[in-house]
Amino acid sequence: MNFVIWLRDTARFFGQHWIRLFSITLLISLITLVGAVAVLGLASGGANPLNLARLVLWVGGVWMSTAILYYIHTASAGSSVSPLSAIQKSADHFTAVFGYQLLLIATVIILGLIVWLPIVLNVPNLPELPFNLSVCAILFYFGSRLVALGTIDLVVNKTPLRSVIFSAWRYSRGRVWTLLIAHLVFFAAITLVLITLPLVSRQLLLQATLLVLLIQPIVVLFYIFVFQIHAHQRSTALLSE
């Protein structure tokens, strides 16, 4: 029942705020794209300009997620916030969200080194494909429980970085299947867009434009939906205390 309610509330919120949310994502996308192009043009020496541009795009993606979540949180609380104000005030949370992303990346690297150790050591009779699929499933499971909910918790509750993984894990209890389905649909939609774009046009500029226009609503809808889960789980946790 809650799943249907969250879907309804997600669609309703998106319908009421899509112009401002689109403005936030468009502005940050443009700034990020300009930064990436500038890096490609200015990079010299031993630095790989493509890797630097990817770093700029990743930082822009973290900034966009933070701004979107700040707007969703503020608007859900009944306050009015402009896109420019959401972008500006989300900077207060950017450092924490960026640090959390780095922490998760480091965790994935460590877990990857541990779980792929049998392959590195050439353990005999190890079925490689099932093993790799199992590793991916494990990472997907933990990522679905920790990434989005933890990011929301940093923006909404300003939870200390050292505690956010534990709070995200707590908020995901009882909603694991809902989170897994939400992430599966999210990644499937992104994959469908990426596969379809080359079939629509071979012009890189048009592909980039369509990519921004199509992926932005998917990202926004995903965060609105997971925000509904976080709000419900947080209120439930507060009532039980």
pLDDT digits (tens, 9 = 90+) for 134-154: 778 888 898 899 999 999 999
Q: How confident is the model at residue 118 (pLDDT cuts 50, 70, 90)?
A: low
Give pLDDT tens digits for 45-86.
Answer: 555 777 787 888 889 989 999 999 999 999 999 998 999 999
Q: How far apart are CA 95 and CA 99, in angstroms?
A: 6
> What pLDDT, in 10s, does the model give residues 6-35?
999 999 999 999 999 999 999 998 898 888
Q: How confident is the model at residue 107 (pLDDT cuts 50, 70, 90)?
A: confident
Q: DSSP alpha helices (H): ranges in 77-127?
A: 83-89, 91-115, 117-120
d(CA 186, CA 229): 15
Whole-number average pLDDT of the chain: 84
DSSP reduced 3-state for 221:
helix
Tokens of 145: 């429980």
What mean pLDDT is predicted for residues 106-126? 68
Note the residue count of the chain. 241
Average pLDDT over residues 217-225: 94
Number of Cβ within a 10 Å radius of residue 46: 5
27: DSSP letter:
H
Give the global pTM: 0.87
Cα separation, 93 vs 152, whole angstroms: 10
Higher pLDDT, 115 or 174: 174
Q: What integer pLDDT is reported at residue 230 of this predicted model? A: 93
- Report helix angle 49-76 to 2-42, nearest 10: 150
